[in-house]
Amino acid sequence: MLSSGLIKLIETRAESLTREVVEDLVTNDLTPTLHPLSKAELEPRIFQLCQHLGDWLTGPNHERIRAEYEEWGRTRQRQKVPLSEIVYSIILIKQHLRRYIREHGPAIFSGEPVRRGEVLPLELYSIQELNYAVGDFFDQALYYLTRGFEAQAKEEEEHTYRHAPAHRRGHASA
């Protein structure tokens, strides 16, 4: 039972959440290769993730996650962004979402007929389940992003090998 109210809040605040994540990505010491990328290039993927969080977290989306994140990995490999920075960028996005859930989750339930600020066990369970779902989603995203990155690197390596002169491929020259 995911907290639909909290998911809706995240989706409606997708624009401001996206700005925070992108600002972090282009200024963080652990993502220096992303610094020169334009915010316009980084924002659409993050915005789509936040704006459609409920779609990503509910239902069988394994194939959709694979397709989206393998392509993201391929794109970043073509841009020569180090894998460590790509992985850290996903970690940053997850951290921002989890912080948002932690900070805003209890407020979603404050209208319940209990003392203000008190969170009932069911609401606490919903917040916890949402955090688990976010974690599971990002675990899958990291795996497929890495697969896409590796596949693109392998394709480029094979292309380079096929087009290298024979003496560079280990063949005896005539």
Q: Name the residue ranges covered by the structural domains of the chain.
A: 4-163
When mean pLDDT is compared across 29-33, 153-157, 159-163, the lowest value belongs to 159-163
Would the pTM count as exceeding 0.75?
yes
Q: Name the architecture of domain 4-163.
A: Orthogonal Bundle (1.10)
Residue type, 126: S
Quote the tokens at residue 75.
């794109």
> CA 20 to CA 36: how far, in whole Å?
17
Give 16-37 pLDDT, tens digit per residue. Answer: 999 999 999 999 999 999 999 8
